[in-house]
Structure 1
């Protein structure tokens, strides 16, 4: 398939073809996090599962920085790709790689130093604290691999190739699962074995995917696509050498990007870093504040003891898989929107948004039915036959309740992806901060007084308000004017 299919094929088809590998890949990525928990819970014990769960709430903060930065910077790369401006696109890619490599090394060192104070601050149960520390120290050693792998995957998506990240996710997931069973079940290395399995699998996948991406990037050359032959006519339209033309706002956007093709490749460019920062920083802020909010929510759950924490950890793992299709559509809409705006085709963005919502409705109904039928064996997969009644009851109650509301997170993610792809970051950030605030306030205020159930009652409240705000901004049409 041609590399420009996001800007040329019918909207539903283009989004489906682009999203499907991301969905499958993310499912495999979530698979090995599930296996970490399931293997540890069954072969080490309930306290070990609680330790991994307590660690997860902290590691998510760093994961979200990587994902937010990768997706945010890939928006700029997508726009250059849509405009066929490959020399500047390569400069943006190189700038992003160097920037996030430095950030990941710094954050990994910080994480190793402050992991104990943070776990204590989060009220991690005392019988799970030492194991959580062991898991985190190994995890932070591999943080640069995690960062760079997520950024590389985002860059593949930016150039319309979501299939190559799928291959490496499958490779990483299968290797991680095999190493989990080898280290934990056979060699009896406990939570440390699960952490080392993740580090080794992600490290190999990062190195291999980087090599393939650099080879792929070398195939794109401005001179072969006629970007340098773009010229502006007397009426302000942009005429490409291949005969395509753009006028009005599309011409201004496309012409500006096309004329950038005269700039030579540079390993690092402050102008491109500035452009990416305008998208990436709000995206990182949104991802990070949400994950920090989840840490605060986690501290509420921790106060109910290790049994309730184990049940909630099992639910969280399943929920993270359930929202994979919605998260994939979020990233897909960002790349789809950015490429089509870069190509001067904003009318295709509206068609793509409608197609994304149809996909959300299908996924939400399917997920709800599956959860209502299989919630017992799903939770038991993590807790095991010898799990406590409190852990089982907590996990099952949370999973059944949230299953009815996945449509809201899907609708909000589709709209958020459009706004981010268009560079409309103020409302995007505001909506997600309000989402976070609702979830944190309701959990912190209500759960200690009325029961742990209010931790998951707060979730659809935040999703719904986020969607209302983002959709209102979409309806104004302001997102069309952000570039």
Structure 2
């Protein structure tokens, strides 16, 4: 099969014709995949919240930000694997493509084992540093340790899926997540309701479901006929591919890790209000996660479309892409975000029966989901900048704008007005300040790029 045939079968022509319908076609599979991955944690906290209690709910939820700090750096690096594999695949460089695949899978396996060991060993100490209350500390530690046992499965799936998406295959990773997600639901219900394993039950279910998705994606790569075929005898890391993967992926990983570190600081502030506030934040934050993946899929589309058009010097089309993405982001954010708040009480009742937790979570959502269109706009400009080859700039701006603002807010502003709702005003404030910086930067980069035309 020729490269052109492969492209016509799997890919979208991002450089010609209409834009909006192609953006939607590109975004929806990513959106659905992200939502399904979130369902792992969502089902955990729903089941444990309804059938074990609010302390168990708080225990599971209090680990989320900390787990993200541990894993998101390596998930960011998987973006480098995706970009490098896509580059070689499009160029028809089969040898380089195969070596990239085997380097990426080896990197995923090693990083998964390392993260598993680090997570198990440091779980309790890290949770104590976050001021996790004593009444949930042991449960949180247990959940986190079991979760990290499955880290090699988690890493292998994400890197394997990144390779499949690099060659235009978004359908099979989505199907694998449907299978593993359904397994997670069934196992949660059996282990928690039938065997009364509580927090341990939902953690075990998550590890098993991640193992299933890992096996499915590796099996898919193994039986592939193309240049991305996986052979375990060829596993190993070649320095030149590791270097190129890191050049693309490390800035994204650093940005994600530092932003999640600011969320850990926020979690510590929430913890100081007790287990009811922790449970409310857990549920509200999980709902926000679904909103994030929906909007982030548009950001990913913006980056890919901009990158291809930058490569063929269609600079005016890049402007149209950004405008279409802005309209799509604001529309999706307002519909999903506004809807989440309007039906906040009903959504919160999915997670918990406690009226106090529901009220607390709904209050938090006013400041996070309703204003989420600001976060969508904030992320779009870095997406466009990365598409033009400026990967370090959005990292710096995001860290300074988002993380810097929240640190200042948590340590200097919040102590003067100790109230839970005041704490979460830091979300829209940090988004607005970051937008201003990124728009200014984008203006100068765009001016320089158009000057080349």
> Do these two structures clear the TM 0.5 threshold for a shared fold by scoring above it?
yes
Measured at CA, do residues 156 and 474 of structure 1 come closer, stay the same or move farther in structure 2, by a change above 3 Å?
farther
1:343, distance to aligned residue in structure 2 (A)? 6.3
Measured at CA, do residues 74 and 335 of structure 1 come closer, stay the same or move farther in structure 2, by a change above 3 Å?
farther
State how 1:24-423 maps to structure 2 within 5 Å. 24-216=32-224, 218=226, 268-341=237-310, 348-384=317-353, 387=354, 389=356, 391-423=357-389
1:144, distance to aligned residue in structure 2 (A)? 1.0
1:126, distance to aligned residue in structure 2 (A)? 0.7
Contact 2:345–2:359 (CA under 8 A) maintained in structure 1 = no
Cα distance in 2 for partners of 1:74, 1:166 equals: 16
Measured at CA, do residues 108 and 343 of structure 1 come closer, stay the same or move farther in structure 2, by a change above 3 Å?
farther
Secondary structure at 1:418 match in 2:
helix
Which of 9, 30, 37 is residue 2 of structure 1 equivalent to? 9
Contact 1:279–1:423 (CA under 8 A) maintained in structure 2 = no
Cα distance in 2 for partners of 1:282, 1:375 equals: 35
Contact 2:74–2:111 (CA under 8 A) maintained in structure 1 = no
Q: Does 1:473 pair with 2:402?
A: no
1:6, distance to aligned residue in structure 2 (A)? 4.1
Extract unaligned runs of 5+ from structure 2: 1-7
1:342, distance to aligned residue in structure 2 (A)? 5.4
Structure (1 or 2) with the larger CA radius of gyration: 1
Secondary structure at 2:96 match in 1:
helix
Cα distance in 2 for partners of 1:356, 1:300 equals: 34
Contact 2:97–2:228 (CA under 8 A) maintained in structure 1 = no
Contact 1:184–1:193 (CA under 8 A) maintained in structure 2 = yes
Cα distance in 2 for partners of 1:50, 1:107 equals: 23
Secondary structure at 2:9 match in 1:
coil
Contact 2:73–2:250 (CA under 8 A) maintained in structure 1 = no
Cα distance in 1 for partners of 2:139, 2:118 equals: 19
Cα distance in 1 for partners of 2:186, 2:389 equals: 41
1:341, distance to aligned residue in structure 2 (A)? 4.7
Measured at CA, do residues 7 and 267 of structure 1 come closer, stay the same or move farther in structure 2, by a change above 3 Å?
farther
1:377, distance to aligned residue in structure 2 (A)? 1.0
Cα distance in 1 for partners of 2:225, 2:33 equals: 21
Secondary structure at 1:404 match in 2:
coil
Cα distance in 2 for partners of 1:467, 1:79 equals: 31
Measured at CA, do residues 179 and 421 of structure 1 come closer, stay the same or move farther in structure 2, by a change above 3 Å?
farther
- Greater displacement, 436-445 / 33-42: 436-445
Secondary structure at 1:2 match in 2:
helix
Match of 2:407 in 1: 440
1:310, distance to aligned residue in structure 2 (A)? 0.8
Measured at CA, do residues 164 and 416 of structure 1 come closer, stay the same or move farther in structure 2, by a change above 3 Å?
farther
Contact 2:127–2:137 (CA under 8 A) maintained in structure 1 = yes
- Greater displacement, 194-203 / 13-22: 13-22
So what's the TM-score if we normalise by structure 2?
A: 0.89
1:338, distance to aligned residue in structure 2 (A)? 4.1
Contact 2:60–2:199 (CA under 8 A) maintained in structure 1 = yes
Root-mean-square deviation (Å) = 2.5
1:340, distance to aligned residue in structure 2 (A)? 4.7
Which of 421, 432, 444 is residue 453 of structure 1 equivalent to? 421
Please list the CA deviations of residues 73-115 of structure 1 after superposition, one character each: whole Å capped at 9, or x if unmatched.
3223333344444432333332222223212211211111111
Contact 2:95–2:227 (CA under 8 A) maintained in structure 1 = no
Cα distance in 2 for partners of 1:150, 1:422 equals: 25
- Greater displacement, 445-454 / 182-191: 445-454
1:66, distance to aligned residue in structure 2 (A)? 3.3
Match of 1:15 in 2: 23
Cα distance in 2 for partners of 1:141, 1:405 equals: 37
So what's the TM-score if we normalise by structure 1?
A: 0.84
Measured at CA, do residues 317 and 207 of structure 1 come closer, stay the same or move farther in structure 2, by a change above 3 Å?
same
Measured at CA, do residues 50 and 187 of structure 1 come closer, stay the same or move farther in structure 2, by a change above 3 Å?
same
Please list the CA deviations of residues 274-330 of structure 1 after superposition, one character each: whole Å capped at 9, or x if unmatched.
122112111110011111111111111111111111111111111111222112122
Measured at CA, do residues 472 and 85 of structure 1 come closer, stay the same or move farther in structure 2, by a change above 3 Å?
farther
1:69, distance to aligned residue in structure 2 (A)? 1.3
